[in-house]
Amino acid sequence: MLGNFDLIRLLTGTNRTSSSRGIDATSLISQLKSLQQSYTGLSSVEKVSSNPYVAKREGFARVEGRLHTLRNTAKNAQNSEQFSPMSAESADESLFFATASSSAEAGTYALSVDRLANNSTVTFGVGRDQSDSSDQGSGVDAYSGLLSDRTLTFAYNGQDYAVDLKAGETLSDVASKINKLDFGDEAGVSASLINQDGAARLIISARDSGAYTRADDGSTSQSRIDNIRITETSSGVDAGLEYGGSTVTQDDFFSSQAGQDASYSLDGITSYSSSNTVDNLVSGVTVKLNSITENDTTLTVAQDSEALKEALHSLVDAFNGVVNTLSEERRSGLSGDELARNLTSQLRDVVNSEVDDTTTSINTLAELGVQTGAGGKLEIDEDKFQQAIEQNFTAVSEVVAGNSETGTKGVAYQLDALVTELTGRTGSITARMDALSARSKSLTEQNPNQIMLANEQIRLGQVRNNVSNAMGGLGQMNDVLANTNAQLINSLQSFFSAR
């Protein structure tokens, strides 16, 4: 049986030592053997790198990565609520923080905070912690039981509430019963038991801040929690809570913090608020009071388009990243690929199409100053974009981000939907990459000689120089190889294809 290189000798009309054409066949075959040995020594990864299916799949993987970046950017741009045409800024956010809605009007204001709102809190029951075994101090052991039935009553926002306490119940039981009271639509109170320096304290706090009623000067005239009483359940007579020889009486109740309203001045006019969050301090502006101020602090309300501008620029940059990668891949591994060509068309269709269900007549990116430029990339006319924002901020926001209230699907939503469709489990890109992986695996397993042939063809360009150098001064070898090169390629192809 003829060997590989015996076949080459027959096809090229050569022998081991000489030829009628003056070719040193031994040297030529030695070069070819050396080339084959160098191929054989390559790792499997290096061999497969010449697999055309691998190259294509890698190209689509790079495109897919860019598409994921575009989808994430588009998702971030869809939240139209983050885009407000107005902003409110505090000169010192440690004192107060401000936000503005679209209804706010531009202006500058002086704000001072004289008092913060707080919650009404009542504390009672001083005693020993269970872990404290000493006999020091008097009062209530937080974990011992009540000796007899009692009733705890209090007023919250002017409404009376009663808690029936049974013999054997602890302070923890008292807290639990208070927390189970039904306050209807009111915020109500909460109760908790804490240990402080070995003493047990039951704290009852109003869940809403501020005073229940306020005097003309802004001071608290009635706290939200008021009129605490302990009575005998049977007789209604004032009594204490008796716990193991210690008694909590009315005198043991004290208001640790009376609820009060916040007091602030805007441009010299004093106002009050039961909460430290003041809605519509000025029209469309909400302020969170953080601290008492020593002097007036400036509040500035102004037009704000930076967030919307940043969203559009990020979207355009991500879109152009996909276009650039597609362009590069179509010049190499994805050259002539129909899917790659269609991807470019699909993306352009989205950015050039009209947005449905807008509340204004503006419904395209082109009307905002976004045009298709060189190489299919998007370009922004900054002057036109700024003019569109100033004339109709809502329209710009709808085209870019959509409108959740009206159901408008902006360009960001449409790009997100397209990329999700393309790269999802059944998407065209996913299907193509899976198919390329399968073909690559099949080619490697069923006909590895095809990959070897591809590698040999890549290296055939090196044969001429290698053999020519080996022949030294035999310059005519170049002419002979030029004439036989095509024949050699055809012979190799036929040989490996037949195997």
Domain ranges of the chain: 4-43+447-498, 58-82+306-430, 86-116+262-303, 119-257
Instruction: Output the pLDDT for position 350.
Output: 93
Instruction: Output the pLDDT for position 199.
Output: 63
Radius of gyration of the chain (CA): 42
Instruction: Output the pLDDT for position 176.
Output: 93
For the stretch 477-492, what's the b/e string if a residue is b when 16 or more beta carbons lie within 10 angstroms of its beta carbon? beebbeebeeebeebb
pLDDT along the chain (499 residues), means of 10: 46 46 55 52 45 86 95 89 84 94 89 95 62 40 67 91 88 90 94 75 90 85 86 80 56 69 95 95 95 95 88 95 94 88 92 88 92 92 92 90 87 94 93 90 65 51 43 48 57 59
Largest separation between any pair of C-alpha atoms in the chain: 135
> What token pair was written down for 208?
């809403």
> What token pair was written down for 377?
């990339």
22's CB contacts (< 8 A; 6+ apart) are 474, 476, 477, 480
421's CB contacts (< 8 A; 6+ apart) are 427
Enter the pTM of the model: 0.55
CA 342, CA 320: separation in Å to the nearest integer? 16
Q: Are 423 and 64 in contact (CB under 8 A)?
A: yes
CA 348, CA 355: separation in Å to the nearest integer? 14
Instruction: Output the pLDDT for position 179.
Output: 95
User: How many residues does this entry show for the chain?
Assistant: 499
Instruction: Output the pLDDT for position 102.
Output: 78
